[in-house]
């Protein structure tokens, strides 16, 4: 385990899209071009078309999810996009994370 955030699903958001073959650094750069919201790191296995963006806390993950999920992130000059979605809880009963309600977030 690299970071404390890796043990808490509520501190992450899920992403998917045309990212198969891309590494974590490339995805981080694309996301950083699209938002000033801070994240700890991206977790992704290179061959997969999905991964997770990890944050220091659930507040930051919630804010990122609400601000970034409505609009896919365009991948440079390609037709591909990255879509942001809710993460799921760990374990057998995988339920979507209930992020902090937007009205309760301090912006």
Which token pair is 58? 């659930």
Q: What is the dihedral of CA 81, 24, 101, 3, to 10 degrees?
A: 170
3-state DSSP helix/strand/coil % of the chain, to nearest 5 = 30, 20, 50
Which helix (DSSP H) or strand (DSSP E) does residue 65 occupy? helix 58-68
Q: pTM for the whole thing? A: 0.90
**pLDDT tens per residue across span 75-88:** 987 789 999 999 99
**CATH number of 64's domain:** 3.30.70.330
Q: Residue 2's pLDDT is what?
A: 66
Q: Has residue 30 been placed in a domain?
A: yes
**pLDDT tens per residue across span 15-66:** 999 998 899 999 999 999 999 999 999 999 889 999 999 999 999 999 999 9
**Integer Cα distance of 76 and 65 in angstroms:** 21
**Tally of structural domains, the chain:** 1
Percent of the chain with pLDDT over 70: 98
In 3D space, the residue among 61, 66, 51 whose CA is nearest the CA of residue 11 turns out to be 61
Which token pair is 43? 């977790």
Count the Cβ atoms, other than its own, within 10 Å of residue 5: 24
Range of the structural domain that residue 77 is part of: 12-88
Q: Has residue 97 been placed in a domain?
A: no
**Integer Cα distance of 46 and 48 in angstroms:** 6
Q: Quick check: 4 pLDDT over 90?
A: no
Mean pLDDT of the chain: 91
Q: Has residue 78 been placed in a domain?
A: yes
Q: Has residue 46 been placed in a domain?
A: yes
């Amino acid at each position: 385990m690299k970071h404390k955030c890796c043990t808490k699903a509520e501190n992450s958001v899920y992403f998917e899209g045309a990212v198969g073959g891309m590494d974590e650094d490339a995805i981080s750069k694309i996301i950083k071009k699209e938002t000033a919201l801070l994240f700890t790191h991206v977790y992704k296995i290179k061959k997969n078309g999905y991964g997770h963006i990890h944050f220091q806390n659930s507040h930051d993950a919630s804010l990122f999810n609400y601000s970034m999920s409505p609009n896919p992130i365009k991948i440079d000059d390609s037709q591909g996009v990255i879509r942001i979605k809710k993460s799921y809880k760990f374990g057998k009963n995988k339920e979507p994370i209930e992020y902090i309600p937007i009205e309760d977030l301090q912006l």
